Structure 1
């Protein structure tokens, strides 16, 4: 697997960034805090989504102040091209995945969970396995060493796919224990079943069933006999009740007829009273008609009509309404005209107020500008003084070159020459000092031999030796070298003073350059401020002139408003005349309305008189009908009184009482017999149920026996399966441990060639032991910080190799990613890390991505990516810096 391209939008510190990644070693370089690690986190997030965030949430990946983030990752895997796009959007206080799409050679996968599952299937590792194998995150270099033995076992077993075998073994164990639990429950159930069968067989249920059925047949016969006698008594009771009911019906009808007779008498009397009331109302309506006729004649005399005709009245009212409508239209027209003139006057007054307000605002703004102009002129004077001060300081700094050995602008070159000359003298002094030390050693040795009576050169006795005088030459050489060394020291001291003076000149040049730049900035600000002062003066004068013009326009508006108000007053006089004429029309209309009301009252009274006459005649006819019905009711009353037989009624009452007493007694007896019959039926049903239950228990016992035999066989099979998975896991773990131990030693030997460590031992539980050359065993925690980091990196690389070799050709490994691996390394260990990275590339790792700010790693890279952060916007950017030369 190789990363091809990653694109970020609003991801953490990145606004919009895109990076292409090539095969080989790529180093992502930049200062601390620039956002290097965020590039790798974006790739990891693209693959695994929220599972890549540890304890953080989706809100943490969105750039502060933005609403959404987007990450795209293109990669190749096993010969195919893939592309992942994830987009996260804020919704309220929470962030949610808005888009998650994986494009594969076989189609499109959508949804965060589906994409994460597909990626884990492609790489054969979930997010945890990814960081334990291919992705060494910042600060997690020592993760495998610091982990507990059990956690380390789980990590490595999961990476090597051995965790599945342990999972299968545990499932087999759980199945075996489950079968054992079921067997135990089954044995207990069988034991209880045997006890229940024995208990029921001891009851002799068939004999008990026969006794109960015989007794129930006898009880049923008694019930049938008493039920026949009960039916005869109920028939006699029904006949008696029928006689009594017939008697009661006739008595009830007699009472009803008597009540109807009384109701009819009362209704006739009441209706006659209502006819008298109608007669009185008829007289009242006649009086109301005559009064209305007299009132109408009076109103007719006050009008110009010849007669009180409703049509003529309506026509005259229509004419008056038309006259009033015309006057009302004239009135409305005049009011509209008055309203328009008043509105115009009000508008003119409001516009005059606005103009005066604008004039006041412009005068106020002109006053403010005058104050600002004074402040700006003071600032201009201050800046001119600042320029003069800077000129004086520049002149002072340039004066330092008056007595200097070089001209202004040549100080840096002069300083470089002096430093180079001083370095040469120091090297020469070091050589002289080394030569002097060797000569002194030889002189001391020669003097010791001479004191022993031997030749200082050959070690023979002094007598007859031709080399005794050479010791004086050594003494002269030592003295000459000491003199030369002292002379060089004096020259170096003189150059140190010259270098200090040259450094002061360099600093003076830098200060002059900075002051000149400041002077340019101040002059620019001075020019801008002077321009602003001129513009403000011009604006102040314009505002004053505009204020005067606005005040004059406001006076004109007020004069026009007064003229409009005077015209409105003239129109109000016309309204008074129109209202007077409308009042006269209303008086004539009122008289006509009164006349029409009187005519309508006469017509209403005549209608009421006719209606009342009809009602009196209707009520007279109703009473005639009631008197006929009253005669019929009196005849029916006489017939019912003759039909009542008191002797038959008494006999029926006696028979009813006898039948009721017998039924009460027989019901009690029948209740007892039925209760006993039902009780016997329940007992028979219980015995039959027990017999059925006994048969079911026997069948269940046979079924449980068969099931117990099958479960016993299944228990043996799960026990063998559990042992098989355990043995297979142990065998595969041992093979992987041996291979991993070999690869760890190869990698560690490559990093620590000719060092103090002999080998690394890895036992079956993944416990690690380091052996020194002297055979002493060390725990990895006893190594130094740099050694421990390299040890862990070696272990990680070995695991990566083991997985790569184990599944090569079916699912290639992801890139090897190292995030700040040099945190715990000194310069010597960094060189060893470079060798480790180079060895992984030689072993076939196609893509290695390293995040670091170490220059040695940068120099060893195939590609370098520079990450920088803008201090103003706090946004990071990426750029491919150069194509580095290969390590060799």
Structure 2
């Protein structure tokens, strides 16, 4: 499978990321947490809907409602497209195949798409990830981990760990069926007890049936006795009800008669009172004739008083008007002068307002000028300091930024070239030292073997003489010593070059601290500040002319205001009196109104005289006389109202007398009915008690029968259950035999999944395949190794020019080569040998600097796999890349940086 493109929307931290994948090595670069590994997870999600989140909803970007992953890829020369979408509540999946120039739908739905991908790739999601996806630290683990840990890791990749898990889970299933077997055996053992219990229950059933039959006879006899008493009781119940009904009605009529007697007595009293009130009205009527005359006389007196008040008020107003007119005449010249001066001040104030802002603006410009000058001086000081520091670093005496820039444009490239050359020399010497170390290790091994075997060549196994043996050891030793001498020379040279490199690094670090950009910014700032100061000076000159005019206006306003203050009192007196005079109204209108009041007073006095003659008697205390007569009138009116009830009371009196007579007749008829009933309450009570006693006895017998029937039903149910259990005994026996056979089968299956079963077979089958694929990779990588062997624990043994070696016996670079080849060999086996894609997640993690460099060198040479995707934050891997994809993250959103 070759991936062509990937488009992810709202997937984890990726809002909208589109990636075109090419063949060769594609490096996905970015810092920790930038969202690199999410790209590999999106590929796994698109193909198999597999992900690392606890819940699938957590794949959706926070704050978004929908996410989607769309991937295009090639398998066996055909192009396919997969789209998976997800919301909080629903999902969608669609797979298409390209026919001609267009993609056509192939299958839809999550499960159907996943099944189609599995059939197309001939592997499920777990196998795909184990085959194609090399997780963080796997290559380092193949070097550093113990044999047991490496065995567990390779077992996980091959899927053996799932067999181990199945073997462990089978024990849970076995334990479950063993418990069932024990329960069945217990049930079968209790069979004899069940038969005894059944016989006992049947005997109890017979006893209950006999007892119920006896009770039925007793109940029938008791029912006959109860019915006879009940008939007698029903007759007495009927008479008792009739007696109570008549007695209640009699009591009610007696109470009604008593109430009517009380009502009649009350009506008689009320009529007597009305006769008395008629007599009182006749006495009050002659005295009320004076009331209206006295009230009119009181009203005219009040009117006379109000007219006198109005007359006095008008006389005062006319006097005030005459006095205010004289004051206005005296102060009118001052009022006119004040108005003219005030108009002049307002005109000058308007002119002042036109120039008032000039003074404030001048102050603002002056303050701004001081700030700009301070800023310019600060920029100049910073420029001088930066230039001085640069001269100190470079040991120069430049007086301008331009001279410094010209010098750095030639000096920096020369320094970088020297540093690059020195770094290259250090790397070459380190590489040669490492090779010499490995050669010495390779030379020491045959020396040890020659010292042990004595008379046999360790390589060809032929017999050798002691002289030949000594000669070989001496040759090996001479080579080792020569290598040691060379190593010492190289180490001295390395120290010398590293010292030079350190000095160059220091110079470069110092030069990098020189920031020409900031120096230029300082100079630009000074230039801009100078321009601004010139503009401010020009504006200040214009403003000063306006300020001079403003000061002249302010002087004129001060003189005018002094004159206004001198006549302000007389002006205010004029305004005050004028307002008062206007509020008093017209003098002619007031004079006319005064004449009208004098006329009204003469007419009113005549009317009062007439009313006093009509009243006749003395009216010295008029208000008290009126109050007394009004109280008498209220009493008179109240008595007249009460007299209106006289006819209604007489009518009610006659109706009450009639009702009393009718009620007496009804009481007599009720008493006759009570006598005719001949009801005896004690006889009735005795019959009721006898009936209750018989009924209670019947209920007791019926309750006892119901209890016995319930117990009989319960025993019958128990008998049926026991018979069913006894009948199922044969079924339990048969089920137990079947269960024993099934347990044998489960134990056999569990043994198959065990370490000595399929696990062992799978290891034995996969081991030679992995060896074969890894051996092929040795040849394709041009390694010096000729063969590789894996024992039962997947411990590695390799064969090279020096013979057989373990991983511990070879150099760090060789370990990396073997580990990479072994991991790719496992991948080839899992993919069926048709490997087109491999994905590596942080392959250099947990490796030291030397081994990391060796792995990078190997990846640079790798061309045996059509497409390789590497996720890393290691910038050294960029040298191995055909394509570089940079991922960055800002404000929680990951995105692809355009290269």
In which range does the TM-score fall when normalised by the shorter chain?
0.5 to 0.7
- Tell me the equivalent position of 2:790: 761
Pairwise CA distance, 1:256? 2.0
- Tell me the equivalent position of 2:533: 533
Rounded to whole Å, the distance in 2 between the matches of 1:350 and 1:281 is 90
Consecutive unaligned residues in structure 2, runs of 5 or more: 97-104, 304-345, 400-406, 423-495, 598-632
Secondary structure class of the residue paired with 1:26:
strand
2:183 to 185, 193, 197: 185
Pairwise CA distance, 1:804? 1.0
Closer, same or farther in 2 for the Cα pair 1:83/1:360, shift >3 Å? Answer: farther
Deviations 1:14-60 (A, max 9, x none): 9987542112233457xxx6579843433324644998567999999
- Tell me the equivalent position of 1:253: 252
Pairwise CA distance, 1:265? 2.2
1:104 to 95, 104, 107: 95
Deviations 1:575-617 (A, max 9, x none): 83689999x9xx99xxxxxxxxxxxxxxxxx9x9999978854
- Tell me the equivalent position of 1:265: 264
Closer, same or farther in 2 for the Cα pair 1:205/1:389, shift >3 Å? Answer: closer
Superposition map of 1:820-831 within 5 A: 820-821=843-844, 824=847
Deviations 1:803-848 (A, max 9, x none): 2117x6xxx8753325243762666885577557867x53xx4311
* 8 A Cα contact 1:51 1:127, kept in partner: yes
Secondary structure class of the residue paired with 1:768:
coil
1:195 aligns with 2:193: yes
- Tell me the equivalent position of 1:701: 726
* 8 A Cα contact 2:181 2:736, kept in partner: yes
Closer, same or farther in 2 for the Cα pair 1:75/1:222, shift >3 Å? Answer: same
* 8 A Cα contact 2:11 2:69, kept in partner: no
Pairwise CA distance, 1:204? 2.0
1:680 aligns with 2:710: no
Rounded to whole Å, the distance in 2 between the matches of 1:804 and 1:617 is 124
1:135 aligns with 2:164: no
Consecutive unaligned residues in structure 1, runs of 5 or more: 88-95, 304-346, 400-406, 423-495, 589-605, 881-888
Closer, same or farther in 2 for the Cα pair 1:71/1:247, shift >3 Å? Answer: closer
CA RMSD, aligned part only? 6.9
Rounded to whole Å, the distance in 2 between the matches of 1:361 and 1:382 is 32
1:846 to 866, 871, 886: 866
Rounded to whole Å, the distance in 1 between the matches of 2:679 and 2:702 is 36
Closer, same or farther in 2 for the Cα pair 1:877/1:397, shift >3 Å? Answer: farther
Rounded to whole Å, the distance in 1 between the matches of 2:658 and 2:356 is 105
Closer, same or farther in 2 for the Cα pair 1:68/1:697, shift >3 Å? Answer: closer
Pairwise CA distance, 1:252? 0.4
Closer, same or farther in 2 for the Cα pair 1:232/1:826, shift >3 Å? Answer: closer
Rounded to whole Å, the distance in 2 between the matches of 1:59 and 1:102 is 18
- Tell me the equivalent position of 1:204: 203
Size of the aligned set, in residue pairs, is: 702
Rounded to whole Å, the distance in 2 between the matches of 1:281 and 1:789 is 140
Pairwise CA distance, 1:135? 2.9
1:75 aligns with 2:72: yes
Does 182-191 or 162-171 show the bigger shift?
Answer: 162-171
- Tell me the equivalent position of 1:628: 655
Rounded to whole Å, the distance in 1 between the matches of 2:541 and 2:695 is 128
Closer, same or farther in 2 for the Cα pair 1:775/1:349, shift >3 Å? Answer: farther
* 8 A Cα contact 2:812 2:850, kept in partner: no
- Tell me the equivalent position of 1:24: 24
Pairwise CA distance, 1:676? 3.1
Superposition map of 1:322-471 within 5 A: 361-372=360-371, 374-375=373-374, 378-379=377-378
- Tell me the equivalent position of 2:883: 864
- Tell me the equivalent position of 1:816: 839
Secondary structure class of the residue paired with 1:644:
helix
Secondary structure class of the residue paired with 2:847:
coil
* 8 A Cα contact 2:271 2:649, kept in partner: no
Rounded to whole Å, the distance in 1 between the matches of 2:512 and 2:740 is 95
Pairwise CA distance, 1:144? 6.7
* 8 A Cα contact 2:788 2:797, kept in partner: yes
Superposition map of 1:87-166 within 5 A: 103-105=94-96, 106=105, 132-143=130-141, 160=158
Secondary structure class of the residue paired with 1:652:
coil
1:230 aligns with 2:229: yes
1:796 aligns with 2:823: yes
Secondary structure class of the residue paired with 1:82:
strand
* 8 A Cα contact 1:102 1:115, kept in partner: yes
1:740 to 756, 759, 766: 766
Rounded to whole Å, the distance in 2 between the matches of 1:681 and 1:511 is 112
Rounded to whole Å, the distance in 1 between the matches of 2:511 and 2:661 is 145
* 8 A Cα contact 2:160 2:759, kept in partner: yes
Q: TM-score, normalised by structure 1?
A: 0.58
Secondary structure class of the residue paired with 2:832:
helix
1:576 aligns with 2:583: yes
Pairwise CA distance, 1:222? 3.0
* 8 A Cα contact 1:165 1:725, kept in partner: no
Pairwise CA distance, 1:302? 11
- Tell me the equivalent position of 2:745: 720
Closer, same or farther in 2 for the Cα pair 1:237/1:797, shift >3 Å? Answer: same
Rounded to whole Å, the distance in 2 between the matches of 1:830 and 1:37 is 24
Closer, same or farther in 2 for the Cα pair 1:288/1:80, shift >3 Å? Answer: farther
Does 386-395 or 732-741 show the bigger shift?
Answer: 386-395
Rounded to whole Å, the distance in 2 between the matches of 1:235 and 1:135 is 100
Closer, same or farther in 2 for the Cα pair 1:261/1:825, shift >3 Å? Answer: closer
Secondary structure class of the residue paired with 2:139:
coil
* 8 A Cα contact 2:95 2:106, kept in partner: yes
